[in-house]
Structure 1
Amino acid sequence: MDPSSSAQDVHRCDLCETTIVQSYCDLCLVNLCKPCIGEHISDEYDKHKIVPFQKRRSTLIHSKCETHPHRNCEFQCEDCNDMFVCSSCMASNQHKGHNFVEVTEVYKAKKDDIKKDTKELENHISPTYEEIAFDLENQLASIDGGYEKLEITMSKQGEQWHREIDIIVNKMKTEISEIKVKHKELLQKHLNEIKQIQSLIKETLHALGKIEESTEVSPVIEYSSKIREFSKPPPKVKVTLPTFIPKPIDREKLYTLFGHITPLSTAIEEQILLQNQPYILYTSDRELLDEPELVATIHTGYRNLRSVTCVNEERIWTSGMTKDIKCFNIKGTTLHTILTKPGSYPDDIAVDSDGNLLYSDSETRTVYKVKRSQTEELFRLQGWKPVNLCVTSSGDLLVTMYSDDKTQSKVVRYSGSREKQTIQFDDEGKPLYSGNSFIKYITENRNLDICVADCEGGAVVVVNQDGKLRWRYTGHPSVTKNKPFQPCGITTDSQSRILTADKDNRCIHILDQNGQILRYIDNCDLEDPFGLCVDNNDNLLVCELYKGNVKKFKYLK
């Protein structure tokens, strides 16, 4: 039998490998018996920390100071980007007057965060992905049975049509087989994506486990949470089987009257994970009305009404080419008026996650925040001028802007006043947006795509959250919509549909999340539609630029 282990898995001394362990070196991570302690610390006592075995790994292992190697870094300097420092550094001129925090405090806080993340991953996020994977596997398992029923129905219809119809039957079976392949590929693709993320979650949990057991300070403090990355699962895919619709026999129109196969119908169930709460499903099941209905008209008094943004279902903020920003209730009563800072009129407005009003001023190159009726500068640009704004689901601020020489345009993401991301070029290094000072309204879709209405560029430009180009929409051929497509306002709804204002053609284009036109809103005497927003009930609010009205539409069932 190996003397270093037994059936009871008794811990043995790492030096002699025979005696039962009694002590532990917290710095070297070595099991020790009493006789071996002297040998272990013989090189230099200060390099070791001997503790009872039951209290092992209770000593924090601090990094050594680069300036004073004989001292441990037990503090961080808040004024030097949280630089690790020792007590001698604190007393030096380099850090004179700086603020310091004890490493042990940061270490304990980070350890708590790691425990919370581990619990969140184990109890909520990982089970959610398991359920999604289980659902996809069930859909894959039931595909063959569903398609077999379709083929039986088609065969019965084919028997009635005798030999002339055999060719058509075989052709449609081929179509069914092709659709089935696409069906499986679609589900398998999403299943692979889910399992890949599950693998990443397991890797993260494994890494967190190691960090939790570790007493090394640096890895713990440098730990960066991945909860936000995993808290937005991909949309849940529900693919409906196609149906076969038989028709009466007519030999002159055999193929067209035999029936047709419906395409795959995919329903998307958006999933939002809230920490310490079960996930919530939002199902894409609201269809478009045949005729959108005008619900209300609000007279704002602006001659050039450019922007509208919702506070809630009952209140909206509006702005035009004047120095006042007005808040109305849905009945048209003015509730508040904000006067902008000296400069020009506000280019655009938005409401942040705390309900504070934001507005941009290209003349002063500044984005302002209005909090409790007090206006403060959020940030001021150099060499660029901010134009249009969008507050994202994560609380970030997206800003479209153009260069002082009006030759470049880009989108910048901010967290507070800190720049996080810049979107300007595609993978080939070509500009995504037209370089000019014209409006470029912006919005974020539920799938986190960033959608920009490039008015002068004549296109809706959509990139994913990483800034990679997904598609461009340049209008849809129409006999009645014969003026150039120059989109103005843009917004999205709970169904991930994109709505954009086509002022010159007096209509609203409704697109799906992949850029396919679904329909227009062009009734209710809509004139010069400009700024847009959608409230929490998926009602559409439209600015009529020159009339100064905000029209509220119901366009979903």
Structure 2
Amino acid sequence: MAFSQSVKKSQIPISCHLCDTEKNKWKCIDCELLMCDKCKDGRHLRIKNAQDHRVISIKDIGLHSQELDFTNIKCPDHASQSCCLFCKICDSLVCPTCVSKVHKKHANDLIEISEAYHMKKDRLKNGQSKIQMEEKKAVAMKEQLIKRKDAEKAKHSKVIQDILNHGKVLKSDIDKYIEELKDEVDENLKTIFKSIDTDLSIVAKSMKYSNEKNNEVEDLIKSTDLANFFSDVRKMEKSMEVPVLKTQPSYNSIPKFVPGEITQSNVGVLQIEDSSEELSVSFDIIQEYQTELTIITDIIPCVDNSVWINSNVDACVIKAVPTGKELNVVSTFNMKVYGMANTKSNNLLLSVERKPRLQQLNITTGNITDSVYNMSPLLPTCIHINSDNKVIVGGYNDELGRSAVFVMRPKGEHETVYEHDRHNQPIFTFPMSITSTSNGNIHVVDRCPGKEGRVVVLTTGSDVINSYKGHPDINKDKTFKPINIVTTPRDNVMVTDLDTQSIHILDSKGNLVSWFDTEDIGILFPYCLAFTPTGQLYIGCGKSANSTAKEAKIYEVTCSGC
């Protein structure tokens, strides 16, 4: 491919290249000559094949900074020939010899080189757009992480200060309590001493009395006055007994000090806050696709870039390949499907109308067979396959008045059935969509068609742990009518809200962390959601209640912050 670079206007010579006398007014793109009016129509035309050359006014040189010549590309396999076409199957340029020898059977896939060039350029621009979107998403993520880092730094300072302040309070309380203990011990000592001192006084009096009596007896023993001896002894014998000491039988004692243990519970502990951080989210449209369907109820992106699209209103499942701005339909299956999921073998599990057993669609052969997953007597309404390869199915039976969610192993055994809560009350009304998060929680859109609904959050082997019924700021004027649910790459959960034309974003426990009004970017009636293997989001849309048109749109979107 040849490129002809124009000369900057400030460098354009005044004189014609051919006559060197007249002022130049024209430039030949092919031979790069600058010419006057006379030479353009005279001398220049004498050059071989000049009649096919592209001549422009020097005033337009700036507008032709890069001209493409698709006629002078030499064939790498046949040096004497120039490439004339592009083969889409082989993804290569071909010359006439290539066409006759190798590409005869590719006639329907041979296009003009210029068409191939623009097709490739469009793909590059589309890829560049995705790269720029990813860069934009990375920048937004970087800003969010820096903000998070700053917030955590500020939180760290506050927690450290709280600990130090609490330490001061603890020290003050401990000092105060130590003083109280000392005062209590002092008071105990006073009480004990008072009790003992009282008895000491009694004992002292007894000792004084005994000493006096002892002296009197001693004097009598030593007396030689026989005349008075007997009378004095008679009196003494009557008063010789000493009164019994009336002291306390026992005394209190100073209590022993038993040191207490300082534990986390009475000093304080670090506790992870069980609160959801509000997310800053953004959505940007990469591509818009027009379909001939009434509504898009399910989308499943595949690793080969193809997508499976379901419209249960039209009773139609199609496989399509996005090419540029078009969705090229590869195959169509006419059946009413309420839910579908992609297995590890890349086949599809389908919940088909009036069939209690899930159907399996072999994407290679197109054959539809019974799977091992049976929900009888309930009919399946939605399907999800979690990271453990367990199939989670919502089911309903109008006649029996039963609704349930089944968790089934790869061979079809029922591992868990969620139907009644711990109070034996029905959990579900009508399961419409299911997803799961990495902590094992199951999120179920539960809503009767036409009525308001909720997102029920189940935890493994337990009861309902949360029930999200919308938010007053979002559903102030219109009730929460969830339709479809999907898990994001960051392990949050997205839910489409039918009447508010918004997407609610919940954490893995079912708490609202953010939301987005898709009408702000021109997406109306968002119905179903699906993430591609590379992290882009497909949004399948519905229609207004009064519309009968078959023109539902699908958007490929990048989303950041969620």
TM-score (normalizing by structure 2): 0.47
TM-score (normalizing by structure 1): 0.47
Structure with bigger gyration radius:
2
